[in-house]
Amino acid sequence: MRSKLFVPGSRPELFDKALRGDADALSFDLEDSVSEDRKADARAALQALLSGPSARACGKILIARVNPCGSVHFDADMRAVVQTGLALLNLPKVESTSEVLTAVTALEAAERANGVTEPVGLLLNIESARGLRLAYKLACAHPRVAGLQLGLGDLFEPLQIDRHEPASLHAVMLQMRLAAGEAGVFAYDAACANFSDAESFRAEANLARRLGYIGKSCIHPSQVPLANEAFRPTDAEIAHAHRVAEAAADAKARGIGAYTVDGHMVDAPFVLRARAVLSAAKRLGLG
C-alpha cells in the first residue's frame, strides 16, 4: 500500500476515475472532506459504490473513513460502508481504547447485517497529542487494528507547531512508528495538503520510508506516482536483499549465526529486513 488516495464521498463523479487510477489503495471519505449538509448523500453514494461490482473488481485496497465514534453519523456510516471487499475501516481522531472497542462492536454488527464474511480491519488515525501518547495502547486494543495513520494537520495546527519543521516531523513520525512496531501493526504517513509542492511531498515520503512507514496518503492524483516511487524498493536494495538471503541460507547450513555481506556484519534482524524487501519486490513484480 505505497499510495492511498483520498476520495470525498460527496464527489461520486470521481469514483470511477479513482478506481481506474494508479493508487494502490483508495480511502473513500465521509468525514472532513464532506460538509455537514452532504453527509447523508455521501453515505448513500459510497454505499452504492462499495456494494456494486466495479469496486469489487478494481483490485485495489478499499478503505472507508467514517465519522468519529460518538458522532451522530457514526452508526449510519458503519451500516453503509461495511460491505464485501472493504479491507479497512479508517477511524478518525481516536484517543481511547473504548473508542476502538466501540468501533469493533459496530463493525461486527454491520458485517453480520450486510453478510460480510471476510473480517474488516481497523486503521486508526493518530491526530492529537493524547492519541500520540497512547498510540501503543490504541494499537493493542483489539486484534482488528491493522495499522496506525498519522494526521499531522489535526495534530500540529491546534498546537501551533510548524507543519514543515523537520525536527518536529521526525520526532512525531518516529514516535508513532515505534508504537506501531511494538504493537506489531503497520504505520502509515499523513497527507501533504499542498499538492502543488511536489518536493515537499517527496521529502516527507522519503523520510517516512526511512522510518519504516509502508506508504503515504495522497489528496490529489498527482501525488500518487510520487508515493509509488518513494515506497518502491530500489534495484540496489533488491540486489542487496538477495545477497543477504543467499548468505543467510548458506550460514544456516553451516550453523553460523552472524556473517558478512557487502562488508557489513549481518544477523537475524537484517535477514528479516531483507525478506521484507524481497516480499515487496515480488508483489510489485520487480523480481
pLDDT tens, residue by residue, 209-237? 999 999 999 999 999 999 999 999 888 88
More confident residue, 267 or 205: 205
Contact 96, 133 (CB under 8 A): no
CATH superfamily placement of domain 3-230? Phosphoenolpyruvate-binding domains (3.20.20.60)
Cα 19 to Cα 77, 95, 122: the distances in Å are 21, 32, 21
Contacts of 16 (CB under 8 A, 6+ apart): 54
In the chain, CATH 3.20.20.60 covers: 3-230
CA distance 282 to 284: 5
| Per-residue confidence (pLDDT) for residue 287, from 0 to 100 | 65
Closest listed residue to residue 260, CA positions, set 251, 252, 276, 269 = 251
pLDDT digits 0-9 by tens, 93-119: 999 999 999 999 999 999 999 999 999
Q: What is the pTM of this model?
A: 0.89
The dihedrals phi and psi of 83, each to the nearest 5 degrees, come to -130, 160
Helix (H) or strand (E) holding 41: helix 39-50
CA distance 40 to 252: 59
Pairing of strands 86-91, 121-126: parallel
Contact 237, 219 (CB under 8 A): no
* Alpha carbons within 13 A on the beta-carbon side of 111: 17
CA distance 184 to 212: 13
The dihedrals phi and psi of 86, each to the nearest 5 degrees, come to -70, 125
Task: State which amino acid sits at residue 192.
Answer: C
pLDDT digits 0-9 by tens, 128-175: 999 999 999 999 999 999 999 999 999 999 999 998 899 999 999 999
More confident residue, 4 or 249: 4
- Reported as a pLDDT band with limits 50, 70 and 90, residue 202 is very high
| Per-residue confidence (pLDDT) for residue 235, from 0 to 100 | 81
Written as nine digits, the cell of 163 is 507543519
At residue 184, does pLDDT exceed 90?
yes
Eight-state DSSP code of residue 222: G
